[in-house]
Structure formats: structure tokens, C-alpha cells
A and B are shown apart, each in its own frame.
Chain A
Amino acid sequence: DTGVSQNPRHKITKRGQNVTFRCDPISEHNRLYWYRQTLGQGPEFLTYFQNEAQLEKSRLLSDRFSAERPKGSFSTLEIQRTEQGDSAMYLCASSLEGQGSATQYFGPGTRLLVL
């Protein structure tokens, strides 16, 4: 399967704990995005990378959130000191910039529940 993959698919944690999610994009894609989605809402932009550079981060994102994309391949999203309000689906998407299309290909998401 050459699509976007995310791990884990589900994560349950206690408030105050740190969690880390991984995203493996489509191999030739140079852009990678992280979104958060809650029930009944569309995806909310968190951050994006072009190759290994993090080019933008949402103003809504607190400093408890950090993302990396070493070597421009897979990416990790870490949430420190989780809060119940962090409970959501975390989606990763990738795209190939410069192909005349900004179509984003999404992974299955990681569902986080903070107790």
C-alpha cells in the first residue's frame, strides 16, 4: 500500500501525559500537513512542512504541540501535558507541490482520547 499511513490508529492517555503520533506520507510527496478534526467539524489546520522545513504553524496551536519531519520523510506530532480538550482525530495529509494540483491525500488518522 503506497498511501499515507499513520500510527497509532487509536491512543488513550491520561491528562498530563505526553503522546507522539507518526505519519508516513506518500514517498514522492514533498508537502506534509497535520490537521485536527472534532466531531461534526471539518479538518482544522495545525502545521505543514515542505520537505524538512516547517513553513507554517497555526496560531491556534499552543506551545504544547510540536512537529518534526527529519530528512523530509516521515513526520511526528507530539503533544505534551495533554488536556481533555486535545481529544480529537489527528489527520496527516501529503501532497506534491508543483504538479499544478494541491490535492491532499489523507491518512486514516489517529484518534486521541484524553481521560
Chain B
Amino acid sequence: SQKIEQNSEALNIQEGKTATLTCNYTNYSPAYLQWYRQDPGRGPVFLLLIRENEKEKRKERLKVTFDTTLKQSLFHITASQPADSATYLCALDSNYQLIWGAGTKLIIKP
């Protein structure tokens, strides 16, 4: 069956360090993968999109990698700040819709 897995346990990181979140998938061949941020009680907010022919994408302190052989994407936040605390969701395209992981809660401690 098709599956997207993200760490279900919260990730606690010290302020200033790099946070790394993982998204693994099986039985998909997505053309692209997206990362979103979601704060409590709000809708997801788009952060980055990476295509299958791209290995890495950067935006300010954010970096995403995409390994279609390993079927894995890594999401990095460098120089993390308490304001980065949120749930981060990965999503894969499947024809007309996005298929979502359950998200990983990131907590940045001052």
C-alpha cells in the first residue's frame, strides 16, 4: 500500500542548531514533493517544492533534499529559532491531489 512516513515523535532542538526532519515514502513515484508548516489551529503554509530531477533546494535558512532512489526527503532548518516551532508536513503529488504525511512537531528550545 502507498504510505508516507514522518517521525511521529516531537523533535526537540536547541536554539541555533540545525533541525533535520525526515519524510519517507513507499509505492509512489512522485514528480515533486512539498514541505508545509502548520501552526496550531491554522491551515498549512507552503514552504518549499522540490522536483524529482532536483537533488536539493534552498530558501533562506531552509534546505530540502530529495532522493528518489531512497524514496526520502530531508528538510533542514539551520540556525533554528523558537519561532520555527511548529508541525512540518511533507506532501507528494499523486495525479490530481497531494498525499500528506502526518507531520513532525518541531520544538526549538531557547
Nearest CB to that of A35 among chain B residues?
B100
**Chain A residues whose CB sits within 8 angstroms of the CB of B44 once the complex forms:** 43, 91, 106
Q: Pick the residue among B41, B98, B103 that contacts A104 (CB under 8 A).
A: B98
**For chain B, what secondary structure do more than half of its interface residues adopt (helix, strand, loop), or is it mixed?**
strand
Report Cα–Cα, A20/B40, bound state, in Å. 23
Taking residues whose C-beta sits less than 8 angstroms from the other chain, chain B's interface range is 20 to 34
The answer to whether A42 and B101 touch across the interface, beta carbons within 8 angstroms, is yes
Q: Pick the residue among A42, A45, A103 that contacts B103 (CB under 8 A).
A: A42
The answer to whether A109 and B46 touch across the interface, beta carbons within 8 angstroms, is no
Contact indicator per residue, chain A 14-35, by CB within 8 Å of chain B (1) or not (0): 0000000000000000000100
Judged by a CB distance under 8 angstroms, whether B110 is at the interface is no
Which of A43, A105, A107 counts the most B-chain CB atoms under 10 A from its CB? A43
The answer to whether B91 and A91 touch across the interface, beta carbons within 8 angstroms, is no
The answer to whether B43 and A108 touch across the interface, beta carbons within 8 angstroms, is yes
CB distance from B107 to the nearest CB of A (A): 15
The answer to whether B100 and A42 touch across the interface, beta carbons within 8 angstroms, is yes
Judged by a CB distance under 8 angstroms, whether A40 is at the interface is yes
With known contacts A48-B96, A55-B96, A104-B98, A42–B91 Cβ distance under 8 A: yes
Report Cα–Cα, A91/B38, bound state, in Å. 12
Report Cα–Cα, A4/B44, bound state, in Å. 12
The answer to whether B42 and A45 touch across the interface, beta carbons within 8 angstroms, is no
Judged by a CB distance under 8 angstroms, whether A62 is at the interface is no
CB distance from A35 to the nearest CB of B (A): 8
Chain A interface residues toward B at CB < 8 A: 4, 33, 40-45, 48, 55-56, 91, 93, 101-109, 111
Chain B interface residues toward A at CB < 8 A: 4, 8, 32, 34, 41-46, 49, 89, 91, 93, 96-103
